[in-house]
Chains A and B, each alone.
Chain A
Amino acid sequence: MTSNDLRWLAALLLLAWGPVQGAVPAGVRMEPVKAVPVAADLKQGKALYERYCNQCHGNEGKGDGPAADFVYPRPRDFTLALYKVRTTLSGQIPTDHDLFKVISAGLPGTSMPAWKKYISESDRWQLVHYVKTFDSLGIFKDEPAKEQVAVSEAPKVTPELIAKGKEVYRAKKCWQCHGQYGRGDGTSAEGLKDDWRFPIRPVNFTKGWRYRAGDRVEDIFRTFTTGFNGTPMPSFVDAIPSAEDRWALAAFVKSLTRPPKNGQVLKARRIAGEIPGDPYARAWEEAEYLDFPLAGQIILDPRWFKPAHDVITARAIYNDRELAILLEWDDGTYNKGEGGKPADQVALQLPAAKITGDEKPYFVLGDRRHGVDYWRWNAGQGLARFTAAGHDRVTPREAGNVTAQGGYKDGQYRVILRRPLTPSGDNEAAFEPGRFVPVAFHLWDGHQGEEGLKMAISSWYYLLLEPETPLTVYLWPMGLGFVALGGEFWLLRRLRRRRNEEVKP
């Protein structure tokens, strides 16, 4: 036999073997895996890995590099060949293209970066080859993936499709983990562990920027078709055999997401009448919101590297007497400070005095010369107010004219903080329409043991009470427009008269 014949024989055997090896669930179409464009050069792969990856994934690929304890989720342990973002069926290893894609695009919402910006394409393929060598079971070598799930183009997303998806979401109990509104607050969300025995939380579907496998409808469809290996997130092909139902579900999950809306200035609009105390009231829904990104407090001792929260959403409105700010954030668990865990908290930071020029207090809890006015709401104890002149000089003060109302519903906190516009003393910022007031936010998740300086922080932003537009803003342009129009007519008349005169003689 020639080597060509041998290859044919092998191919035939494989074809016969395929269906036996792993039964493809009904309703899933498979397609052959694409070829890998770059041949392995393990020496180069090792050099690249030791330059870019070992600090997290460890020299032996066990996910135990020096940075591993400082990030959540933990870097992957490659020795068990368990991968999350795949196009292969549940329990199977990923294709080389899957690995290539993850290494190139990274895993959003985790510390695993997108390497395409820094590593050339062929080097990324070398990393794919090298990462596979850590597989202690030899699966990549013995049984490489030959087929992948074919995802056709998503159907047109219509309100009917989303409504149908909502029904599937309810019937197939996605809400048990992901929560009714997709905020990751389901009844079984707590206490989940992954295959490495590390705690793991269901994904919050509203945060479109955190889907590791992508947030397009096609991506979401693929994610629950293949499942995330090594996690409690199973494949749902057997439970939801109809592709149509799965498309509807994907469309529904997608409809829960929203992109972040960032900005530097939180604008408070003026309303007539009372500011509602109900955070679900119309006036609040209509107020413009902004998302403020948060980071772990890793600047002051003790540092906190794995914050539970990555964003806080704020809205603001004012009337002729007072200003109110609504703070909103998702939290899978409601902690009032019972059961040995600290309570969930949020804090708003303002300068303690009128600021001059652009000089501000230090952005975390102020400094000796510039204090901050600190309003902290605690899910168990309500409002407390402090003045801080540095993190080690925090002194309680009377809440005075500041009030707070807060509550937890459907996996989400909403807290309203309010204060009269006119300051009651010297160590308070004045809220005047048109004046920019620096503002910053701190957030704690008691469930993760966050309290004190173990918190998520933001930088300084601005709060602005939008002044009512004075009439002159419209009068000037209108006036000038009319003057110009008048000028034009004068010119027209003059030209016409001159022409008539020229024609006459």
Chain B
Amino acid sequence: MSDGRTPIPGPSPSKGEGNFEALRARAGLQRWTFYFAIGLWLAVFAGLKLLVRPPMPASVLTIYMVLTTLAILIFVAANEARFRHFLAPLKAVFEGRVPRTLQVLVLTAMPALLAWGTYLRTAPSFDAPFEPRVVHPEPPASFPFHGKRIAVAGLQNPLRTGGPELEKRIAEGKTIYYQNCFFCHGDALGGDGHFARAFTPIPANFRDVGTISMLQESFVFWRVATGGPGLPKGATPWNSAMPMWQNFLSEEEIWKAILYIYAGSGSTPRTWDEEVKNDKQ
């Protein structure tokens, strides 16, 4: 069947392509270019689809895959020999130098794949609209609290003093936490209380490095005091189940609860000093 013009890729080294072992090895590898390209494309796709959690939206995935396709094509086309090897299997199919069934299979599979890909694009999607949410928005300069206004800048936890007093306050904070917060934020402060799954966005996980351990207590006080309704627009205040705790707790109780969520999750708040240092850098 072979007329010897374009070799059908395979492990056997072709004749007359240089005598050096290394060259031959490279040529040997190069003849697999087409399959490498397909394999690489599939691997990237599978990786993005299966390993990235939470799953990325379909539109983002499409962008990544278009970029991947372009990158692979550019790489392949950059070297003439490589490009030739890349096209070889396709040419072999079109020129009929492969078994008939394989030819028919490939020639029908390509339009079918294209049609399927198009269908995936045109088919209506019924996924919920994507709603981006700012998790840690800029706090306001000041906010209303029990009839007065509290300024966020420079606000510090007045109860965070040393000594045995602190232990007692943390213990009191624990009681406040388990009578008010654990339903949502969880027994072990993991954001998985027995009501948590009923709420979107899910309650914050205080053990996660992305929540209270990267926040200042002033920010946390603002969040606890004003809850979901106190959030600015970009943080979708209408969805947050976080209650407005100034309706239920005194100023001191909120500071105690805050002492406990840090102590219980084994984290420490960011301080103003750190903040100043970071700003200078």
Which residues of A line the B interface, CB within 8 A? 52, 55-56, 65-67, 70-71, 110-111, 113, 115, 117-118, 264-265, 267, 293-296, 298-301, 303, 305, 358-363, 367, 370, 434, 436, 457-460, 462, 464, 466-467, 469, 472-474, 476-478, 480-482, 484-485, 488, 491-492, 495-496, 499
Contact = CB atoms under 8 A, between A and B. Distances in A.
Contact of B198 (A70, A110, A294, A358): A294
Contacts of B178: 55-56, 65-67, 70
Nearest to B233: A359
Given A55-B175, A477-B115, A477-B118, A457 B198 contact: yes
B102 interface: no
B183 A296 contact: yes
B122 A473 contact: yes
A481 B233 contact: no
Interface of B: 94-96, 107-108, 110-112, 114-119, 122-124, 126-129, 131, 174-175, 178-179, 182-184, 186-188, 190, 192-195, 197-200, 228-229, 233, 236-239, 241, 243, 247-248
B119 A474 contact: yes
Contacts of B94: 488, 491-492, 495
A36 B39 CA distance: 51
Contact of B237 (A55, A362, A457, A480): A362
Contacts of A485: 107-108, 111
B251 to A, nearest CB: 18
A499 B95 contact: yes
Nearest to A355: B238
Contacts of B228: 362
A67 B182 contact: yes
Given A113-B188, A459-B200, A495-B94, A467 B236 contact: no
Given A70-B183, A473-B119, A495-B94, A117 B111 contact: no
A477 B175 contact: no
Contact of A265 (B126, B237, B239, B247): B126
Given A476-B118, A499-B95, A466 B126 contact: yes
A457 B117 CA distance: 41
Contact of A113 (B115, B116, B192): B192
A383 B17 CA distance: 86
Given A52-B188, A294-B198, A298-B183, A477 B126 contact: no
Q: Which of A67, A458, A469 has the most CB atoms of chain B within a 10 A radius of its CB?
A: A67
Contacts of A460: 200, 238-239
Contact of A296 (B115, B175, B190, B195): B195
Contacts of B237: 362
Contacts of A299: 241, 243
A65 B175 CA distance: 9
Q: What 6 A-B pairs have minimum CB-CB distances, sorted nearest first?
A: A481-B115, A295-B195, A295-B198, A484-B111, A67-B178, A264-B128
Given A70-B178, A358-B236, 12 more contacts: A55-B178, A70-B183, A110-B194, A295-B183, A298-B195, A299-B243, A459-B241, A480-B115, A481-B114, A481-B115, A485-B107, A491-B94
Contact of B187 (A52, A265, A495): A52
Contact of B247 (A301, A457, A458, A462): A301
A67 B179 contact: yes
A444 B21 CA distance: 80
Contacts of A457: 198
Contacts of B190: 117-118
Contacts of A466: 126
Nearest to B196: A295
25 contacts: A52-B187, A55-B178, A66-B179, A70-B178, A70-B183, A113-B194, A117-B188, A295-B199, A360-B236, A362-B228, A370-B238, A434-B124, A436-B129, A459-B199, A459-B200, A469-B123, A473-B122, A474-B119, A477-B114, A477-B116, A477-B117, A480-B111, A480-B115, A484-B110, A496-B96
Nearest to A498: B95
A460 B200 CA distance: 8
Nearest to B115: A481
